[in-house]
Chains A and B, each alone.
Chain A
């Protein structure tokens, strides 16, 4: 079983739609959780950290359920510029490395 699993998609949604991505992780000792965004042929960039209480950054909301080992990302009012691959990331415990999921591809269409 992979340490971080995501639905690869692709998710094709119209502008203005709300879309949700899910992710599960296998290591119950993991402490740090993130969503990264990766544009085509570009490097990954941190989108947001994910906290147990849930957190929001503009149109983006991240949730963490430690009991279910489940992480989600909700994007409201999708923009064309949101088209990218969204990577679920969990720290490796013990250790310093980050474990990345395969990524979920999002395409927002006019």
Chain B
């Protein structure tokens, strides 16, 4: 499968625990995005990487959230001290290089569904 891969697909955790999700983008895609989607809403932007550089972060990304893309390949999203409000689908997307900020098609992974109990 050469699409965007996310692991785990489902995660149930107790409030206050830390969780980490992984995203493997399509190879040669240097752009990587994290989005969060709750029921009945469209995806909300969290953060963007170009290669290993984190170029943009949403104000949704509180101090408890951190993302990394250490070698410009896979990325991780960590949530510390989870709260019930963190329950959502966490989507990763990747896209190929483009000129400047020109948009290139983003391909989404199937997401990690987080439930905080």
Which residues of chain A have a CB within 8 Å of any CB of chain B? 4, 8, 31-32, 42-46, 87, 89, 91-92, 94-103
Contact = CB atoms under 8 A, between A and B. Distances in A.
A9 B84 CA distance: 28
Contacts, number: 54
Describe B's contact surface by its main secondary structure.
loop
B63 interface: no
A97 B56 contact: yes
B40 interface: yes
A97 B58 CA distance: 9
Given A45-B108, A96-B31, A98-B45, A32 B56 contact: no
Contact of A43 (B91, B101, B103): B91
**On chain B, which size bracket covers the interface?**
20 to 34
B43 to A, nearest CB: 5
Contacts of A32: 102-103
A10 B23 CA distance: 32
